[in-house]
Each structure stands twice: as structure tokens, then as C-alpha cells.
Structure 1
Amino acid sequence: MLKKLLLGAIALSFTNCLVLNPLGATIDREKGSVAAGRITDAAIQTDLVNSTLLAGRPAISLITLLASDIAKIESDKYYVKADVDQCIDDITGFKGFVLGSLITNIISCQDLKTDGYITGDPFPSF
């Protein structure tokens, strides 16, 4: 009986990862299209504040609109939400206002890892 329960728990855990992670149904995952929108919004916000403070009028650059492409976000993949949140916090935080959204994006958002079926992209490497 204990053996059946243990095997059932392992099977349920494995199917949970295989089904819920790609669907983005787990709590700490975020779809790439959502992450890309949040990163672009953060870059636009930072550019608007910086340009208003420095030039006296709000403006954004065309490069700001490509923030998700600079961060190499793929819309069909899933990312760890804490990593995306840290990237956005860096862009909208002190680092973003001092260095600008482009440089902060290059520094802080290049290492966002995709979240695959179990732990890798899409399978773990052995």
C-alpha cells in the first residue's frame, strides 16, 4: 500500500510539472508575452520620468519600445516571475533612473532563464 502511494505521489508530481509549467498555471511562472509587456512598460515609465526631469518634457526613444527584444524575451516561453520582477525593479528603480532604461535592461535583464517542463528548457540537461 505504501509503495502504491509513493508511486502515485511521484507520478502526480511529474505530471504536475509536465502539464502545469507549460500552461503557466503554477504560481511562480509568467508567460513571455506578459513579461515582455511588463518590461516594455517599465522602460517607457523610466524614460518618461528621466526625460521629464532632465529635459522638462516627456519623451521616449524608439529603443525603449524594443525593451523586450533587448532582454531577449520569447513570447511563447515561460519565465520565473521573481527574475522578471527583479529585472523590472532594476529598470524602474534607482539603477534605471541613473543609468537609463536601455543600459539597465542590458545589465539586469539578459540572464532571464526560461522555465521548461521540469527544470530546463524544455527538458533538463544531464
Structure 2
Amino acid sequence: MLKKLLLGAIALSLTNCLVLNPLGANLDREKGSVAAGRITDAAIQTDLINSTLLAGRASVSILSLLAGDIANIESDKYYIKSDVDKCVDEITGFKGFVFGSLISNIISCQDIQSDGYITGEPFPSF
């Protein structure tokens, strides 16, 4: 009985990832294109605020437009939403104000690991 229950739980877990990840319906995962857009938006926002406060006029660096690429986000993979949230918070927070969006992106967003196409990298933990 316990063996059947354990096998059923493993099968349900794998089926959950196989079905929900490609649909983007898993709550803790985010498509790479969405994650890259959020990181780019955060970098643009930080550049606008910093340039307005420091120079008196709003300007945006070309590197802030490439923030998703600098963070090595692949648009066809999935990323853990809490990791992306942490990266965005670092860019828009105190670190982004002090170091700028590029340096805070390099410091905070380089360790974001993809969660794979369908099942995760490596396979999801139980």
C-alpha cells in the first residue's frame, strides 16, 4: 500500500511539472521572456530615477535596455519567480541607487538558474 502511494505521489509530481510548466501555470515559475522584461523594466526605472536625481534630467543607458541579456535570461526557459523577484528588488533598491542598474544587475542577477523547459534542471526535487 505504501509503495503504491509513493509511486502515485511521484507520478503526480512529474505530471504536474510536465503539464503546468509549458503552460506557465505553475505559481512559482515564470517564463524567461516575462522575467527578462521585468528585469529590463527595473533597470530602466532605476536609470530614470538615478539620472533625474543626480543630473536633473531623465536619461536611460543602452545597457539598461539589454538588462535581460546581461542577466543571461533565456526567453524559452522557466525561472523560479522568487529568484527573479529578488533580482528585481536588488536593482530597484538601495544597491541599484548606489551602484547603478548595470552593476547591481551583474552582482544580483548572474546566479539565477533556469528551471528547464518542462521538467526542470535537474529533475524536480520531491
TM-score when normalising by structure 1: 0.88
Residue 90 of structure 1 is matched in structure 2 by 90
Q: For 1:91-110, what aligned pairs fall within 5 Å after superposition?
A: 91-110=91-110
The 8 Å contact of residues 21 and 115 in structure 1, kept in 2 or not, is answered as no
Q: For 1:49-64, what aligned pairs fall within 5 Å after superposition?
A: 49-64=49-64
Q: Distance in 2 between matches of 1:93 and 1:100?
A: 10
Q: Does 1:42 align with 2:50?
A: no
Q: Distance in 1 between matches of 2:12 and 2:93?
A: 41
How many residues get paired? 123
1:113 partner letter: Q
Q: Distance in 2 between matches of 1:18 and 1:56?
A: 51
1:7 CA displacement: 3.1
Q: For 1:1-126, what aligned pairs fall within 5 Å after superposition?
A: 3-116=3-116, 117-120=118-121, 123=123
1:14 CA displacement: 1.7
**SS of alignment partner, residue 66 of structure 2:** helix
Deviation larger for 3-12 or 14-23: 3-12
Give per-residue Cα distances to partners, 1:73-109, cap 9 Å, x unaligned.
1000000000000000000000000000000000000
**SS of alignment partner, residue 26 of structure 1:** coil
Q: Distance in 1 between matches of 2:17 and 2:79?
A: 14
1:119 CA displacement: 4.1
> Percent of pairs identical after alignment?
78
Q: Distance in 2 between matches of 1:17 and 1:95?
A: 35
- Report the RMSD for the aligned CA atoms in angstroms: 1.8
TM-score when normalising by structure 2: 0.88
Unaligned stretches of 5+ in structure 2? none
